[in-house]
Amino acid sequence: MKTGRIIRSLSGYYDIQLSDGDIERARARGEFRKSKQKPLVGDFVDFESQNNEGFIWAIHQRENSLVRPLVANIDLAVIVTAVKEPDFASNLLDRQLVALEAANVTPLIYFSKVDLLNESEIKHLHQIAVDYQSIGYNVILSDEKNVLKTLEFSLQKKVSVFMGQTGAGKSTLLNHLSPRLGLETGEVSKALSRGKHTTRQVTLIQINEALIADTPGFSSYEVFDFPVEDLDDYFPEFVEKRPGCRFRGCLHLNEPKCAIKEAVAVGTILTSRYNSYKAFYELIKAQKPKYKTDN
């Protein structure tokens, strides 16, 4: 029996990297399907394989996992966020941040396409960057000096996932990090404001001392899979201020003497973040229950 990390999933087969760097291929045993388990890229597994024919026998316990992209045991998630073509959307960025907070994955915000902004737009973006840094998030702008070295340092010795809106430039950024990868990139259709889905499979790619997952882009985000009462747990600035709320279990909507609403009023919590919170609250409340089937 061998142990390794799944680095690629394709058509029912899994490429598994051993500690010595060798890669072997195996399939998942039928028992996983019966127990509704599925190996994910990033999983550590016990398997047997000979001449690339074999089976995965056990999946180790996961530190964390994401649904979109479908990856496990992530140290860092780089949210590649376009500031132009498509235009910056704070609601979408906040959705991704909340999803990562809920999954216990550390985010890094990378603002791409900064070179397309004019002087006043750049000034506004710098304020947005400061605002998110004040919450506690690490932020990198694509026009920073030595930006690739800064990003490489953040990725070093970590398993990272690159995620973000379609057309934000994930594959382009990975090409800059390591030109040998030759990842396919797609032009953004200005008419539809959508990019082509050019990344066809989830793969962990070795770049220097980092393992990076390049995954399909998306222009919307999955529904949130947690109770609405937990939502404020995933806004770090809310967690800091909410002990000042008058009522325990305050939802920060219509309750009197709410520390969150007071912080928004005086500007210590961003109005855009509070608006995202309210929008997500309504979204979760409106979600239909998920019913699992045997299919």
Question: pLDDT of 78-100, one tens digit each?
Answer: 999 999 998 999 999 999 999 99
Q: Does 115 appear as a known binding residue? A: yes
Backbone angles phi, psi at 248, to 5 degrees: -70, 135
Q: Does 50 appear as a known binding residue? A: no
Q: Does 169 appear as a known binding residue? A: yes
Q: Does 168 appear as a known binding residue? A: yes
Provide the pLDDT for residue 217: 52
Q: Does 113 appear as a known binding residue? A: yes
Provide the pLDDT for residue 61: 95
Q: Does 114 appear as a known binding residue? A: yes
Q: Does 172 appear as a known binding residue? A: yes
Nearest to 88 by CA among 113, 106, 108, 69: 113
Q: Does 106 appear as a known binding residue? A: no
Provide the pLDDT for residue 98: 94
Q: In percent, how much of the chain has pLDDT > 70? A: 86
Question: CA torsion, points 243, 245, 250, 251, in degrees to nearest 10?
Answer: -100
Pairwise CA distance, residues 185 & 197, whole Å: 9
Q: Are 269 and 263 in contact (CB under 8 A)?
A: yes
Q: Does 112 appear as a known binding residue? A: yes
Q: Does 252 appear as a known binding residue? A: yes
Residue 158, Cα to own-chain centre: how many angstroms?
A: 14
Q: Does 167 appear as a known binding residue? A: yes
Provide the pLDDT for residue 244: 97
Any idea what the Cα angle at residue 24 is, between residues 22 and 26, rounded to 5°?
Answer: 160
| Domains annotated on the chain, with CATH | 2-59 (2.40.50.140), 65-214 (3.40.50.300), 228-286 (1.10.40.50)
Tokens linked to 241:
């201020």
Within the chain, which residues score under 50 in pLDDT? 186-200, 219-220, 291-295
Provide the pLDDT for residue 290: 58
The model's pLDDT over 198-256, given as tens digits with 9 standing for 90+, comes to 444 678 888 888 998 866 555 445 668 899 999 999 999 999 999 999 999 999 999 99
Provide the pLDDT for residue 184: 54
Q: Does 165 appear as a known binding residue? A: yes
Nearest to 166 by CA among 142, 141, 194: 194
Q: Are 263 and 241 in contact (CB under 8 A)?
A: yes
Its pTM stands at 0.84
